Amino acid sequence: MVHTPFWGRAGGERQILRLAIELQKIGHEVEVFTNAVNEETFPDFFKQLTVNVIPHPMEGKMPKWLVPAETYGKSPSAGTEKTSTLRTWMRRHMGRQFYTIPYQFPCMLNMGQKIPKRFDVVNNHNFPTEWAAFFAKKRLKAPVVWMCNEPPYWFFVPELRSGLRKLNWPLFELLDRVAANYVDEICVLSQVAAGFVRKAYDRSATVVRTGVDTELFHNASGKDLRRKYDLENDFVMLFVGGSSYARRSELVRALYHLSKSYDHVKLILDVPARQRETLTKLSEELGIRNRILFFHSGSDKELAEVYAACDVFVYPSSISPWGLVVTEAMAAAKPVIVSKQVGTSEIIQNGANGLIIDQTRPEQIAKQVETLMNNPKLRREIGQNAYEYVKTSLSWEKYARKMERVFQRAISNYRGCS
């Protein structure tokens, strides 16, 4: 199994580690290959797995401004403020494509060449691991199954190819299309994601829903957290995650609309520190800074308590192939509000186990939140139905069994063509 650096506690990282553990439980031998590991992110998971770290071939020899900060590990030592500012500027104006030539390509080439010849299938996950799988495939004489969690939006979103991004785009496009052509099977989390794959590569994809730690989130209590932050008499909205496509500012504006009529509405944003400055500034401009709490959960236990402390979970994304945080909130028996552009909207029966909005506009979000705020019985019913759904349909074991069948099919087809 191949993944990008394990730097943060995100859904993709949790997904591959849990899949690896579940595959081991049902009798398979699994090893994970990556470029860097921050062991503090998922210590319990790492202890159960063989994780091979294959660093960049020029590690320690490249200019700091060329290297993604997350590859430094626990404490990024990017050097001077000038270096950090330059990297930020390059990322903003050239996007992820900025790292294609100096970092990502040689990194994936090195990994693909060093995966040993003892595996029956290569299962790569986040972009650009398909490049590593491309280099490994012929050496290992094994098929490749790509768990394409986040399809490449830059193939069909014009603004992601504008400005200085045009400099790297031709090479970037060539590398990715060639690598994708060598993938035997592409798996995605939703029909929304399958549509992205069709647009990018003109290929079909198999939908396999990921799992969720149902009992972890269902059994947690948010009473201590609500008491600690004086939320016992408040109605609490929640957003969790670092997705760059989630419109957190729309949620802040929705809170502003609600604050005009209700004094007891609060918002918890459990997000990375780098996302707080803009949201803090917006909340101050709207005069609602005292209604927003910023968290950044450092463990599963802390995260479960945050879900348990809220009254409604809102995922204001206009483009998202799935949204693991939505299913985590459902596991906590909380009503969720998502837009129809989000992959998890496909598992929601509107009004039964969640609420779906057409667009992530503040007014629409506020209207649905107000409906739940004024109807405690409906909140409880939707939350309970949400929990029952994920408990029945979205276990990690079921996810592993479905992926196992995909692996077996890919191996059978590959050997049949040899």
User: What is the tens place of the pLDDT at every residue in 210-253?
Assistant: 999 999 999 999 999 999 999 999 999 999 987 766 788 999 99
Residue 42, domain member (yes or no): yes
Residue 5, domain member (yes or no): no
Domain housing 244:
214-393
Q: What is the 3-state secondary structure (H, E, C) of the chain?
A: CECCCECCCCHHHHHHHHHHHHHHHCCCCCEEEECCECCCCCHHHHHCCEEEECCCCCCCCCCHHHCCHHHHCCCCCCCCHHHHHHHHHHHHHHHHHHHHHHHHHHHHHHHHHHCCCCCCCEEECCCCHHHHHHHHHHHHCCCEEEECCCCCHHHCCHHHHCHHHHHCHHHHHHHHHHHHHCCCEEEECCHHHHHHHHHHHCCCCEECCCCCCHHHHHCCCCHHHHHHCCCCCCEEEEEECCCCCECHHHHHHHHHHHHCCCCCEEEEEECCHHHHHHHHHHHHHHCCHHHEEEECCCCHHHHHHHHHHCCEEEECECCECCCHHHHHHHHCCCCEEEECCEHHHHHCCECCCEEEECCCCHHHHHHHHHHHHCCHHHHHHHHHHHHHHHHHHCCHHHHHHHHHHHHHHHHHHHHHHC
Residues whose CB falls within 8 Å of the CB of residue 358, separated by 6 or more in sequence, listed in order: 339, 340, 364
Residue 1, domain member (yes or no): no
Count of structural domains, the chain: 2
> What is the C-alpha R_g of the chain?
22
| Same-domain check for residues 194 and 70 | yes
pTM given for the model: 0.89
CATH code of residue 146: 3.40.50.2000
Task: Please state the rounded mean pLDDT for residues 379-405.
Answer: 97
| Same-domain check for residues 207 and 353 | no
- 142-201 pLDDT, tens digit per residue, is 999 999 988 777 777 777 778 877 777 888 888 899 999 999 999 999 999 999 999 899
| Same-domain check for residues 347 and 221 | yes
Residue 3, domain member (yes or no): no
| Same-domain check for residues 413 and 366 | no
Position 9 scores a pLDDT of: 83
Position 103 scores a pLDDT of: 84
Task: Please state the rounded mean pLDDT for residues 66-88.
Answer: 57
Position 176 scores a pLDDT of: 92
Both tokens of 346, joined, read: 């496909």
| Same-domain check for residues 329 and 400 | no
Residue 104, domain member (yes or no): yes
| Same-domain check for residues 161 and 226 | no
Residue 6, domain member (yes or no): no
| Same-domain check for residues 203 and 333 | no
Position 411 scores a pLDDT of: 97
Kindly report the number of other CB atoms within 10 A of residue 233's CB atom: 8
Residue 262, domain member (yes or no): yes
| Same-domain check for residues 186 and 227 | no
Percent of the chain at pLDDT > 70 equals 94
| Same-domain check for residues 406 and 321 | no
| Same-domain check for residues 92 and 194 | yes
- 101-150 pLDDT, tens digit per residue, is 788 899 999 999 999 999 999 999 999 999 999 999 989 999 999 999 88
Least confidently predicted of 20-29, 314-323, 357-366: 314-323
| Same-domain check for residues 127 and 174 | yes
Residue 342, domain member (yes or no): yes
Position 329 scores a pLDDT of: 98
Kindly report the number of other CB atoms within 10 A of residue 331's CB atom: 25
| Same-domain check for residues 87 and 101 | yes
Position 226 scores a pLDDT of: 97
